[in-house]
Amino acid sequence: MNGPPDPALDKLRGRIAAARLGPELEEQGTVIAIADGLATIAGLPGAQLNEVVTFGGGARGFVLTLDEDRLHAAFLDPMAGVTAGDIVTRTGHLASVPAGTELLGRIVDPLGRPLDGAPPPDWATILPAERPAPQIIERDFVSEPMETGLLVVDALFAIGRGQRELIIGERKTGKTSIAVDAIINQAGSDMICIYVAIGQRMSAVRRVINAVQRLGEPARTIFVVAEATAPAGLQWLAPFSATSMAEWFRDQGKHVLIVYDDLTKHAATHRELALLSHQPPGREAYPGDIFYLHARLLERAAKMAPERGGGSLTALPIAEIEAGNLSAYIPTNLISIADGQIVTSQALFAGNQRPAVDVGLSVSRVGGKAQWGAMKAVAGRLRLDYAQFLEMKVFSRFGGFGDAAMKARMTRGERIAALLSQPRFAPLPLVTQIALLSALNEGLLDALDPPRIAALKTALPALLDADARLEELRTHMQTLDDATRAVLIEVVRSGLEQP
Ligand SMILES: Nc1ncnc2c1ncn2[C@@H]1O[C@H](COP(=O)(O)OP(=O)(O)OP(=O)(O)O)[C@@H](O)[C@H]1O
Ligand SMILES: [Mg+2]
């Protein structure tokens, strides 16, 4: 045994020494009851929250609640075939997702399984679906803008990188469209986008995917889909696991935009699972931990400090309300967790003011701090002017205004309304937005009817792009000097002279 040392042999000896010989303990439990999407299991005393368990037929679930003598597991696979009395085995693994650049351009389910027919992503890097939010010392202030390309948002409710801005409104008021426009607008930026579909019809998800594939930058987008017919556990897990995928990029110093569409359906799934597992129902039959559920999810959005790479995770959660009732339980929870809300209104939508953003109810609590100085310089009076216009419009129904000043205000207000409305899939570059607002402030738009304003919006980006004098503004929007403002107005004038 005294030959020359052989490293390969040493390695082998080491592995033999480390190998655990003898019986391995595999914990098994029994299904004692099955309900829609949920199994009650006896045994498995060592199981932990979020641990994946496997049922006899191969279906998987994850531990949702732990009681003294039993636990509840939500299904991650169809539960067909699983019955009371079946054996359940612990896996020792928490519900996890693959992470990495390989996911870009993919459509996956909340466990990273492909839904696009392409091969499964590489599992070299695995992250648990539930991860703690960054600590306060790891964070930085939200100060860089995340441009949506929607004038009504970028000018009035600017969103910053790392912010959580709720999009909330009644059904069919253009909530998804606002988020999709924001994703499409990132085609020209360095943002990675993740769209999370929770409990939606597949046809609706398909429309979003098609729009992004056609007009956005699909190679920098990930779709995480748990449609309405997916097992409840998958729908529950979707926002958490998608956030883990996003965090991987954030921690590489990248900037990520994540859209949760929508958290009302997520809350409903949580309630359903909670009621089935006999948790005491609270307000509106939601369990007591519903606030904590969404708070811990949205706390994961963050702008990271420079020493942590300076990446960011911006979240746009979507929520649906009924009959304009913003003070229902889930809406108030989400409003208090988020850093502001974009409220869409049925009345505006029906009146063809689209995106149907209610300027009075919407707010961005980061807003101005994450808005370029150049935009701030031209958008300053917009909100007030518009609010006054909306008020006057109500009164004008009782009779016309004789006063010339009032008439001028109405005229200006109508131009603002025309500027704020924007068709879908037509994001406006920030320089165009600034030019339009400069022209508005100069009174240049007062003589134009809405169709001409719409035409101007279409023509302007190319004209502004072609102007070399605006090179400085395109890259530095911190301030807007008078010379640049004059150039912007000149370009708008030339745009108006075109037939
Ligand atoms: N800016 C817009 N301009 C014109 N039409 C729009 C605009 N935004 C939305 N729409 C129209 O409104 C419809 C509903 O929009 P969207 O699906 O975004 O609403 P939603 O509030 O997300 O609906 P749901 O309640 O079904 O989730 C779209 O199919 C589209 O035709
Ligand atoms: Mg929608």
* pLDDT exceeds 60 at position 145: yes
Asked if residues 182 and 192 have their Cβ atoms less than 8 Å apart, the reply is no
> In this structure, which residue's CA is closest to atom 30 in ligand 1?
174
Q: Find the range with the poorest average confidence among 12-21, 236-245, 337-346, 483-492.
A: 12-21
What whole-number distance in Å separates Cα of residue 290 and Cα of residue 337? 12
Instruction: Report which secondary-structure segment, H or E, holds 31.
Output: strand 28-35
Token pair 């708070």 in the structure block, residue? 295
The single-letter DSSP state of residue 156 is: H
Confidence band, pLDDT 50/70/90 cuts, at residue 113: very high
pLDDT at 450: 87
Question: CA-CA-CA-CA torsion for 478, 480, 481, 486, nearest 10 degrees?
Answer: 150
Burial of 189 (0-12, 13-18, 19+ CB in 10 A): middle
CA of 424 from ligand 1 middle (Å) equals 8
The single-letter DSSP state of residue 80 is: T
* pLDDT exceeds 70 at position 23: no
* pLDDT exceeds 50 at position 315: yes
Phi, psi (rounded to 5 degrees) for 43? 90, -160
pLDDT at 11: 77
Q: Where are the domains of the chain?
A: 28-94, 98-371, 376-497
Of 314, 313, 322, 297, the closest CA to residue 165 belongs to 314
Angle formed by the axes of helices 404-420 and 382-396, nearest 10°: 110
Mutate to test the pocket of ligand 1, among 152, 176, 177, 181 (most ligand atoms within 8 A of CB): 177
* pLDDT exceeds 60 at position 2: no
340 lines ligand 1 (CB under 6 A): no
What whole-number distance in Å separates Cα of residue 356 and Cα of residue 190? 28
pLDDT at 366: 86
pLDDT digits (tens, 9 = 90+) for 67-78: 989 999 999 999
pLDDT digits (tens, 9 = 90+) for 185-236: 999 899 999 999 999 999 999 999 999 999 999 999 999 999 999 999 999 9
CA of 256 from ligand 2 middle (Å) equals 21
Instruction: Considering the domain delimited by 376-497, tell me its CATH architecture.
Output: Up-down Bundle (1.20)
Asked if residues 271 and 292 have their Cβ atoms less than 8 Å apart, the reply is no
Helices (H), 251-298: 263-276, 290-298
Asked if residues 62 and 52 have their Cβ atoms less than 8 Å apart, the reply is yes
Q: Give the percent of the chain with pLDDT over 90.
A: 81
The single-letter DSSP state of residue 171 is: T
Confidence band, pLDDT 50/70/90 cuts, at residue 400: low
Top-confidence residue, 173 or 400 = 173
CATH fold, domain 98-371, is Rossmann fold (3.40.50)
Of 179, 228, 222, the closest CA to residue 200 belongs to 228
174 lines ligand 1 (CB under 6 A): yes
What whole-number distance in Å separates Cα of residue 468 and Cα of residue 43? 72
Q: Which two tokens stand for residue 407?
A: 């008439």
The single-letter DSSP state of residue 255 is: E
200 lines ligand 1 (CB under 6 A): no
Phi, psi (rounded to 5 degrees) for 302? -165, 155
Q: Give the percent of the chain with pLDDT over 70.
A: 97
What whole-number distance in Å separates Cα of residue 225 and Cα of residue 247? 18
Q: Find the range with the poorest average confidence among 341-345, 399-403, 427-431, 463-467.
A: 399-403
What whole-number distance in Å separates Cα of residue 204 and Cα of residue 66? 35
pLDDT at 401: 63
Catalytic site residue 409? Answer: no
Q: What is residue 85's three-state secondary structure?
A: coil
162 lines ligand 1 (CB under 6 A): no
Confidence band, pLDDT 50/70/90 cuts, at residue 1: very low
**Which segment, 55-69, 210-224, 384-398, 401-415, is predicted with the most confidence on average?**
210-224
Token pair 């085995």 in the structure block, residue? 89
**Which atom of ligand 1 lies at the shortest distance from residue 320's CA?**
25
* pLDDT exceeds 90 at position 368: no
User: Which amino acid makes up residue 288?
Assistant: G
Question: CA-CA-CA-CA torsion for 31, 32, 35, 37, nearest 10 degrees?
Answer: -20
Mean local confidence (pLDDT), 243-255: 97
Domain 98-371 and domain 376-497 have a common topology? no
Angle formed by the axes of helices 482-497 and 450-466, nearest 10°: 120
CA of 258 from ligand 1 middle (Å) equals 19
What is the average pLDDT value for the chain, to the nearest integer?
93
**Centroid of chain to Cα 56:** 37
**Which atom of ligand 1 lies at the shortest distance from residue 318's CA?**
22
Top-confidence residue, 401 or 152 = 152
* pLDDT exceeds 90 at position 393: no
Pairing verdict, β 166-169 and 312-320: parallel
CA of 482 from ligand 1 middle (Å) equals 39
177 lines ligand 1 (CB under 6 A): yes
pLDDT at 235: 97
Top-confidence residue, 64 or 18 = 64
Per annotation, catalytic residue among 365, 383, 409, 424: 365
| DSSP string over 408-434 | HHHHHHHHHHHHH---TT-PPPHHHHH
pLDDT digits (tens, 9 = 90+) for 27-59: 899 999 999 899 999 999 999 999 999 998 899
User: Which amino acid makes up residue 50?
Assistant: N
What whole-number distance in Å separates Cα of residue 383 and Cα of residue 153? 11
Instruction: Considering the domain delimited by 28-94, tell me its CATH architecture.
Output: Beta Barrel (2.40)
